[in-house]
Amino acid sequence: MKKTILFSACAALSLSMVACGGNPNKAKNAEAAAETKAEAKAAPVYNVIDKPQVDLATLPVDKEGYYVIFDGKTFNGWRGYGKDNVPAKWTIDDGAIKFNGTGGGEAQKADGGDLIFAHKFKNFELELEWKISKGGNSGILYLAQEVEAEKNGQMKLQPIYISSPEYQVLDNENHPDAKLGVDGNRKSASLYDMIPAVPQNAKPFGEWNKAKIMVYKGTVVHGQNGQNVVEYHLWTPQWTEMLENSKFSSQKWPLAFELLNNCGGENHEGYIGLQDHGDDVWFRNIRVKVLD
C-alpha cells in the first residue's frame, strides 16, 4: 500500500497568509495568492510504501527481554530497502551480517543497497556490534520509511537516510568524512551531520564496537562502547532548528527536511536499517527491546 502525500510546507504557507489578516493592497494580495497557488501546483509528491511486516512473536527473545533480530545464520526478517529480497552484496560471514564493498561510495550497485529489518519499531532499545574496514563508512538508520518521490515525471525510490536519523559508522582515522561537518559531527556514533558523539571513544578499523540506540517518546540516546555519547529530542523546535543547520535544511533539500522533521511518520515508528556506503562493514549480535 502506498500513501501519497503533498509537501506540508505549501499548505502551511497558505494557512499563515490567511491567519495574518487582510492586506489593504488588493493587488499585492492577488499576487501573493497567485504565487502560493503556483507553489502548491508545483509541489512534489512522495509516497510512503507500506509492505508486510515481520511478526515479532515469531522471533526468539533472550533472557534480558530483547528480540533477537539476527540469528547469526540466516537473513530471516531482513530485506533490501525498497526490495523484497536481500541484495547479493550482503552476506553472512562468521556469525555477522557483512556488506561486501564495491569501493563506489554512495553510488550503490544493483546487487547492493541498504538493508532493513522488516518491522517498524516505535519506542525501543537497539543493541548491536559493528566493525568497519580501513577507510570505511556506513551507518545505522532508525525510524526509517521507504519513500519514493516524483522526478522527471516518474516516481523514484529515495535514499533511506532522507527519512531516518543516522548513527554514523566510520573509520575516524582514515575516512575524510571525520574531518568534515562541524565539531566532529560526522565521526562514529554521531547523529550524522548534526550532533557529535562525546566522548569519541570508537575503536580502530577492524575492531568490534558496541552500539546502542534508545528511542523513547521522542528522546533519543546514542551509546558507544558502554558510554552515552549523544542525546537529543525529536519533533521539537530544537530538532527543526538542527535540521535547518544541516545538509537536510528546507532550502538545501526540501524533501529530506519534510521527512526528517516528521521522522517516523504519523505513528512515530519506522525501520532499522544498515547502510551500503560502498565499503566493507560487519554487524552482529543485533537485538531490540520494545519499550512501549
Residue 17, pLDDT score: 42
Q: Classify residue 63 by burial, with Cβ atoms within 10 Å: 0-12, 13-18, 19+.
A: exposed
User: What secondary structure letter does DSSP report for 17?
Assistant: H
Q: Are residues 272 and 145 in the same domain?
A: yes
Structurally, how many domains does the chain consist of? Answer: 2
Is residue 82 situated within a structural domain? Answer: yes
Residue 49 placed within a domain: no
Same-domain pairing of 22 and 74: no
pLDDT surpassing 60 at residue 72: yes
Domain ranges, residue 13:
1-43
* Average pLDDT value for residue range 60-80: 97
What is the chain's alpha carbon radius of gyration, rounded to the nearest angstrom? 20
pTM for the structure as a whole: 0.86
Cell 492586506 appears where? 23
4 and 132 inside one domain: no
In this structure, are 120 and 35 located in the same domain?
A: no
Residue 161 resides in a domain: yes
63 and 26 in a common domain: no
- Is the four-CA dihedral 258, 246, 231, 240 of positive or negative sign? negative
Residue 205 and residue 71 share a domain: yes
Predicted confidence at residue 16, as pLDDT, reads: 43
The pLDDT, as a whole number, for residue 25 is 55
Considering the domain architecture, whether residues 30 and 67 belong to the same structural domain is answered as: no
* Shared domain check, 159 and 91: yes
Residue 156, domain CATH: 2.60.120.560
Work out the mean pLDDT of the chain and round it to a whole number: 88
Residue-level pLDDT at 110: 78
Question: What are the tens digits of pLDDT across the range 24-44?
Answer: 555 555 555 555 444 444 456
pLDDT digits (tens, 9 = 90+) for 81-94: 999 999 999 999 99
What span, in angstroms and rounded, lies between the C-alpha atoms of 177 and 227? 23
Residue 61 domain flag: yes
187-225 pLDDT tens trace: 999 999 999 999 999 999 999 999 999 999 999 999 999
Greatest CA separation found in the chain? 73
